[in-house]
Chains A and B, each alone.
Chain A
Amino acid sequence: MSAAFTLFMKALLTSNVVFSLPYGICSYLGVSKSKKNSIGMGLALTFVTFLATLICFFLNMLLEQFEIGYMSTICFILVIASVVQFVEMFVKKFSPSLYKALGIYLPLITTNCVVLYVVKQTTDMSAFYGSFNITNSMGLLGDFLFILIFAIGTALGYFLALYLFAVIREKMDAAPTPKGFKGVAIGLICSAIMAIVFINGFAGVF
């Protein structure tokens, strides 16, 4: 139980996917221009990550049964693309305003490094346990639960980073930054200090 909580908090803060091993920077810098888009993107990403991890966990077991583990990248990418397509149809049908607001960001989740990073962890569970310092005592069920908690924690960590950055960016865009630095460059420098807070500040807490 405490291992699950530790894993969740680590994925959220100390090993935040945007700040510690940087993945998902393109959309992080692009979507954070407006707060509304950030919320939509974050929620969509969480949903897609959860579904994709669910499917890819079993797909990975199947691939390893037939000893074609090297096909994992290709199969995972196809799974992610189809999940994104499915979520897009779902959102279009049930909430057209949200679909209009998200615009091109929904198909962009296909090329988002975060989702592929999370599903790739299913291929090498021992390395995953090693990097987060967990011991699994529940066998396959433990694998499944830990990887799901990791998926949700990572996606929520991305959401948190994105939303905080969007709020700060709103304030920064109104300030008289030097000419070359407006927009992306000052955003990167602000992210540097945020990265120090998330990674070094909370190191060892969980």
Chain B
Amino acid sequence: MKLAINPNPYVRSPRSTFKIMMELLLGLLVVWLCSIIYYFTKGNAKEGLFAIINVLISVLSCSLVEILFFIPKWKQEANHDIKSLLKKELNSFGYITGIILALLMPVGVAWWQIIICSIVAIVVGKMLFGGFGHNIFNPAIVGRIFALICFNTSFSYGLKDFNGSESINAGATILTEWAGNGWDLHAFNTPKWDVVLGNYAGALGETFSIVLVIVGIILCIRKVIDYRICLSYLVMCSLSALIVGCRTYYPIKFMIYQICTGGILFGAVFCLTDPVTSPTTPLGKILFGSIAGFVTMLIRFRGSSAEGVAYSILTVNMLTPLIDNLLAGRTTDKFKTKAIVIGAISLVFLLISCSYTIGVKQSDPDVNLKPVSKEVVEYHEPSLENLEVYYE
């Protein structure tokens, strides 16, 4: 009996991998369009131009590096014309890695940094492992983490700071500022509709919560990405944030702010659901999402790094072969066993998240959560009469 061994993703429907990836690309283009519109209208023309150029540079360099890897094999083939080389590249989806990588970066990243990160992402994260379908780690996340470790202090998350002033805290995001203030909701100066719509400075594609949710739901319905991973990840993140938010007097608001800031929604829709690096069994997928959610919240509340989502995606990618080993080939059709396993693990994770409340400041319930007014406070010259107050 001849066994055909093909790399994952395994597709059973008449749609090919190519068509599924094209629909994913469409979703990414929608998010990119949102970011271009945002930076052209709210920022200045330079930022908008960078929003376009960053993605184009990233896509081009990723594709070129992949083509370089395909050249030796292409030369040995019978007919080598440019068309067959381009077809190889089209089926290897390096440009999707490119656009995801650029959407994960802030708008102030330099062109040479993007090129270095895309080279590292494609070479180290994908081609050396054997190309499309054989990589262990998500290549875009590998590139993003490389940028985080090497170039983070030279980033600027937008030419206007969150409070509207022109100064930039290099490497700071809205999330690190919020964490620095002890997760105090009063220090969160962006009004709630701005947070949800994405009217604040962050990475290129991360901020548009409503758009990402709509795109995610459409992709799940079209069966392009797996709903189990998205759902378990978001549920675990939300429950952890809710438990921590109970220490403040506005738990629901806290939870929504937590989900909408940082890369949680973008990671859930585009990065975690990569079928190559996630488990194949349904129970495995739910475990995958839950562990990722737990690690995200652990790093966010207890860790000293800003990119909890990226590290958690790498962590669960590392655990995917283990999960597949333990669960593949076993029929866990019994709903009871599945429910018990998931329930037990979730309970352990949520109990641990109760310990995150240590670093959270308790908000005063009487004060209204309004953004700090942007009026300039009048400056009074100290006069001789007032001086008496200072000298007791």
Contact = CB atoms under 8 A, between A and B. Distances in A.
B137 interface: yes
A172 interface: yes
A6 to B, nearest CB: 11
Contact of A172 (B136, B303, B322): B136
A193 B137 contact: yes
Interface residues of A, number: 26
Contacts of B7: 175
Interface in A144-190: 164, 167-168, 170-172, 175-178, 181, 186, 189-190
A204 B303 contact: yes
A134 interface: no
Nearest to B141: A193
A186 B126 CA distance: 11
A193 B142 contact: yes
Contact of B305 (A167, A176, A181, A201): A201
A171 B128 contact: no
A201 B129 contact: no
B128 A170 contact: no
Contacts of B298: 205
B131 A204 contact: no
B145 A196 contact: yes
A30 to B, nearest CB: 20
Interface in B112-138: 124-125, 127-131, 134, 136-137
Contacts of A196: 145, 149, 311, 314
A176 B315 contact: no
B43 interface: no
Contacts of A178: 69, 127-128, 130
Contact of A168 (B69, B124, B136): B136
A176 B134 contact: yes
B128 A167 contact: no
Contact of A205 (B145, B299, B314, B321): B299
A4 interface: no
16 contacts: A164-B319, A168-B318, A172-B129, A175-B7, A175-B134, A176-B131, A177-B129, A178-B128, A190-B136, A193-B318, A196-B149, A196-B314, A201-B311, A202-B299, A202-B303, A205-B298
In the complex, the 9 A-B pairs of residues with the closest C-beta atoms, listed nearest first = A204-B304, A201-B311, A175-B130, A175-B134, A205-B303, A176-B130, A205-B302, A167-B321, A171-B321
Given A202-B303, A205-B302, A194 B318 contact: yes
A181 B124 CA distance: 11
Interface of A: 164, 167-168, 170-172, 175-178, 181, 186, 189-190, 192-194, 196-197, 200-206
B135 to A, nearest CB: 9
A197 B136 contact: no
Contacts of A192: 124
B230 to A, nearest CB: 22
Nearest to B142: A193
Interface residues of B, number: 31
B321 A170 contact: yes
A200 B319 CA distance: 17
B129 A175 contact: yes
Given A168-B321, A190-B136, A193-B314, 16 more contacts: A168-B136, A172-B136, A175-B130, A176-B131, A177-B128, A177-B129, A189-B128, A193-B136, A193-B137, A197-B315, A201-B315, A203-B303, A203-B304, A203-B305, A204-B305, A205-B302
A197 B318 contact: yes
Contacts of A176: 130-131, 134
A171 B8 CA distance: 12
A204 B137 CA distance: 23
A24 B129 CA distance: 24
A85 B325 CA distance: 34
Contacts of A181: 128
Contacts of B304: 203-204
Interface string B287-310: 000000001001100111100000
Contacts of A186: 128-129
Contacts of A164: 318-319, 322
Contacts of A177: 128-130, 134
B47 to A, nearest CB: 29
B276 to A, nearest CB: 11
A124 B194 CA distance: 55
A192 B120 CA distance: 12
Given A172-B136, A189-B124, A193-B137, A200 B305 contact: yes
A96 B319 CA distance: 32
Contacts of A205: 298-299, 302-303
Contacts of B129: 172, 175, 177, 186, 190
A133 to B, nearest CB: 13
B279 to A, nearest CB: 12
